[in-house]
Chains A and B, each alone.
Chain A
Amino acid sequence: MSKRVGIEVSIAIAEAVGLARAEVIPAYPITPQTHIVEHLSEMVANAELDAEFVPVESEHAAMSCCCGSSAAGARTFTSSSAQGLSLMSEVLYIASTMRLPMVMVVANRAMSAPISIWNDHQDIMIQRDTGWIQTFAENGQEAVDLTLHAFRVSEDRNVSLPIMVNIDGFTLSHVIEPIELPDQEDVDRFLPPFKPRYKLDPRRPITMGPVGIPEVYTEAKVAHDMAMKKAKRYILKAWNEFEEIFGRKYNPIESYRTEDAEVLLVTMGSISETAMTAVDTMRDAGQKVGLLRIRLWRPFPGQEFRRAVGKTKILAVIDRCLPPGALCGPVGAELRSLFYKIPGSPKIFSFVAGLGGRDVTVERFEEIVDKARAFAKKRPRELYEVIGVREK
């Protein structure tokens, strides 16, 4: 029987990676991801996990090592955050178009400068277009479950793409939560051994990562794009299989009290828990407010999102990322694009909040909903608003 224990979320993720029988873990420590790989290195050192832990000299080396390991057919895991994730950046594109399965947990953190170790989503939004599947966890249990799910999806021969599981730095990575760690038997049932479509093998030599001359580069990129689109089906299938074995159900878009809603908040990650409390408070006060949480960010589940919005006329989208000079945050831009010129589509208002570890409180969500209602009556001058910013 699996049991529920009070455990730090990072440690629980490391335990899940162990249960997944990861074989190679190239990693470089960076706050707030460190506890995950630190615990994995202990597990390997204590012979609790039969894996190769490679203490590389940088994140660039970590991701390069992951590519080699996956190409050789080993179940591969790593983890990073912020500046470390950015140092991996060029190799992230290589892993994905080369269709190399691997799982990375990203403990989301703000990008310096000024130096910040605290949580927001700027680090992952930089990597939005790397062609990795990207999911966002709300709580510790989900972080564990999405990690196991990621191995299943990534290594599915119909998918063969790397996956980033995003967990909010500190807010998730460093808190102790009651988490149910599954039985080894069940994990083994959910996660068969990794059998890649192609691997580097001296008995059957192939070349991975050749030059893509102008005559084939476009086709290679379109093949990757189509693989991402096709992956959605298998992501959903794996969540169904997960539910059958572990009893917890996951959807690409999570709806909370959306029935008859006039305004829907749209969030990603752990602030969604505060947002749910805010929705409860506002519902108690007679306001028709609900919440949509994006769990699957890439490939973007447009169809599911439109269905989840239903007939609601106002969306208040919260980005935890401020791209200077852009028209609005990336989530806001995605949704505006999704609904562009679709008859009956909702009015979309973009907000930026929770940068560099600043709390987004229940009151802030109430403020966002009030503003969205006001903007629906009188069009705002700007395409987005930064919540809780001081002017003087």
Chain B
Amino acid sequence: MANSDAIVGWKTITFGCHILEPGNAANFRTGDWRSQRPVVDKEKCIKCGMCWVFCPDMAYNQDEEGYFVVDLEYCKGCGICAHECPKDAITMVPEEG
């Protein structure tokens, strides 16, 4: 799950396990234990952004065309976006392999 920076020994781990660099969560791939991923059907999508609003991990970003695209490095596959999508444009598909 963690990137290699986090793999430290007891002598080098930060004092009290504090995080001394604010906002460093972005450095960690937190979505690699996902069991299912959201797949957006662009035919149905109306670019309302409800997935972006409800995503608890802020894994959705808007692309140049205005569609909301999930960043799979952070998506944990919870399915909230699929549940909230008013057009049923998002399907949760099992991860394989």
**A220 and B17 within 8 A (CB):** yes
Looking at the assembled complex, report how far the CB atom of B72 sits from the nearest CB atom of chain A, in whole angstroms.
19
Residue of A nearest to B17 (CB): A220
For B22, list chain A residues within 8 Å (CB): 205-207
Interface Cβ pair total, 8 Å cutoff:
58
Total chain A interface residues with beta-carbon distance under 8 A? 23
Chain B residues 1-45 with CB under 8 Å of chain A are 1-2, 6-11, 13, 15-20, 22
Q: At the interface, yes or no: A216 with Cβ under 8 Å from chain B?
A: yes
Total chain B interface residues with beta-carbon distance under 8 A? 16
**A215 and B16 within 8 A (CB):** no
- Which of A7-15, A92-100, A326-334, A365-373 lies at the binding interface? A92-100
Q: Is the interface of B mostly helix, strand, loop or mixed?
A: loop
Chain A residues 305-360 with CB under 8 Å of chain B are none
**B19 and A210 within 8 A (CB):** yes
Give me the 9 closest cross-chain CB pairs, A-B, nearest first.
A207-B19, A99-B16, A222-B10, A219-B10, A220-B17, A205-B22, A223-B10, A98-B16, A219-B13
Q: Which of A99, A207, A216 contacts B15 (CB 8 A)?
A: A99
For B13, list chain A residues within 8 Å (CB): 216, 219-220, 223
For B16, list chain A residues within 8 Å (CB): 97-100, 160, 198, 208
Q: Fill in one digit per residue for A213-235: 1 if any B CB lies within 8 Å of its CB, else 0.
A: 10110111011001000000000
**B10 and A215 within 8 A (CB):** no
CA distance A99 to B16 in the complex (A): 5
Q: At the interface, yes or no: A380 with Cβ under 8 Å from chain B?
A: no
Which residue, of B7, B9, B15, B20, has the highest number of chain A Cβ atoms within 10 A? B15
Give 30 CB contacts A-B under 8 Å: A97-B16, A97-B17, A98-B16, A98-B18, A160-B15, A198-B16, A198-B18, A198-B20, A206-B18, A206-B19, A207-B18, A207-B19, A208-B16, A210-B17, A210-B18, A210-B19, A212-B17, A213-B2, A215-B6, A216-B8, A216-B13, A216-B17, A218-B10, A219-B8, A219-B9, A219-B10, A220-B13, A223-B10, A223-B11, A226-B10
